[in-house]
Structure formats: C-alpha cells, structure tokens
Amino acid sequence: MSETVDPISYYDSIAETFAKQASDKNANLFEYDGNMPSLLKLSDQISGNVLDYGCGAGNFTDMFSRDDRFVDGCDTSPHLVDIAREHYPAINFYNASKDGSVGLDKEYDLIVAKLVFHYVANLDATLASLSDNLRIGGHLLFSVPHPDKTQKHFSSEIDEGTYVDEVGQFGLTLPMVHRSLGRLSTLLANNDFSIVKTDIVYDKQVPKRLNVLAVRQLNKNV
C-alpha cells in the first residue's frame, strides 16, 4: 500500500531530485515543448512586475525574465526556494506561507501558477490572497491538469473533488483536487477575476493541460 503525503511536505522532501528533473528538458519534453510555450504566449503582452507562485526550482520563473519585466518567485518549500536562489541569483525568491498566502507587501502585474492549484485544497482562499498581491487590471495565469483527465478519478461528473494519485518513483500518493472549468470560473468570479483566454495543451490529441489567463477586475462591492 502506498502512503499518502501532504504535497507541501512532499515537494520540500524531494526538492533536489525534483529540481534536477524539472530542469531537464529531455525528461520534460511535454512541459518544455508544449505547456511552457502555451503559457508564455498567453502572457506575451504583459509586462511589469511578475510573480511565479509555486515556482519550484525556478526554471520556469527564469523564462519570464525580459527587459520589460521584473520577475520574482515564491514557493512553500524552503528547500526549493534555496535551490532556485542558487541557480538564478538575479531573481528574488521568497518563502510563501504554508497557508498559501504570498506573504509579501507587493503588487504585481502578473501572477503565474504552473501546476500548483490542483494541490490547493481551498482555492477560494488562495485566489483571495493572490488577488491582494495583484493590481486591479493585473493578470493571473495558471496551468492545471486538464479537467477531462482528472474527472476520470470519479465515477460520475462532478465540479470539484479530491482524489489521490501516485507521484514520482517513491511509491507515494498525493491528494489532488479535480475542478471543472465551470467550478474554476465560479471561484475566479467570486474573487473578482474574469477569464480573458484559455488554452488546452494536448498530448497525442488528448487534453493534458488547461491554461487560463484571467484579469483582476475592480471589486464590484467597492
């Protein structure tokens, strides 16, 4: 029987192995050739202050660096933050708080979260917290495993539900959250975001990633 572990502790405990693997283009062809180009294209028009939330080893954070951008990264894993700092000294990396809040007194033009939200149990709270660090009119860009894929863990169609799945080669399973596009749209709307664009990235004609660009609107209650 495999053991189920909390994603935050898991990534911290395998930080070095994860960093090597994440930075290896050959081991991650789908991410490098398919998913990362999709995310870079969706955010191509956006400049200014950028935060990579759940930045892992910092390899994807570095891809956002451009003359017209100031890029930061943050992660809940202190070990991954150390590794990212060592590999990319020109970028500021911060420890995100374990409750999911960024813990920084800074406003961004763009917050990116690649393959993070499916580990977040209370996405409503995380979106509220990320919204505090985004200027009005600022953008949130995220990538999640495509809902068609995660829906397969359930016997009937549902909007949101937790499942466990194996990760890596350590015989461990992590809790992950399936959310339909409808559910994601509702959570975004509840936090004053509206969807600008979505992109589906396919692997051999099967949807593998759902990428969403949303904009933070003026709070309707203000």
Ligand X SMILES: C[S@@+](CC[C@H](N)C(=O)[O-])C[C@H]1O[C@@H](n2cnc3c(N)ncnc32)[C@H](O)[C@@H]1O
CB 102 within 8 Å of CB 53: yes
* Residue 56 lies near ligand X (rule: CB under 6 A): yes
If you search the block for the tokens 């209370």, which residue do you land on?
122
Q: Which of 43, 54, 146, 211 binds ligand X (CB under 6 A)?
A: 54
CA–CA distances in Å: residue 113 to residues 52, 69, 77: 6, 17, 15
* Residue 145 lies near ligand X (rule: CB under 6 A): no
Dihedral angle sign, alpha carbons of residues 63, 32, 144, 209: positive
| Shortest distance in whole angstroms from residue 211 CB to ligand X | 12
Other C-beta atoms lying within 10 Å of the C-beta of residue 38: 15
- Near ligand X by CB under 6 A, which window of 69-77, 103-111, 188-196, 206-214? 69-77
Paired tokens of 221: 């209650």
Contact letters (x/-) for ligand X, 179-208, by CB under 6 A? ------------------------------
Q: Of 97-126, which residues contact ligand X (CB under 6 A)? A: 100, 114-116, 119-120
The number of residues making up the chain comes to 222
Residues near ligand X (CB under 6 A): 7-8, 11, 22, 54-56, 60, 75-77, 80, 100, 114-116, 119-120
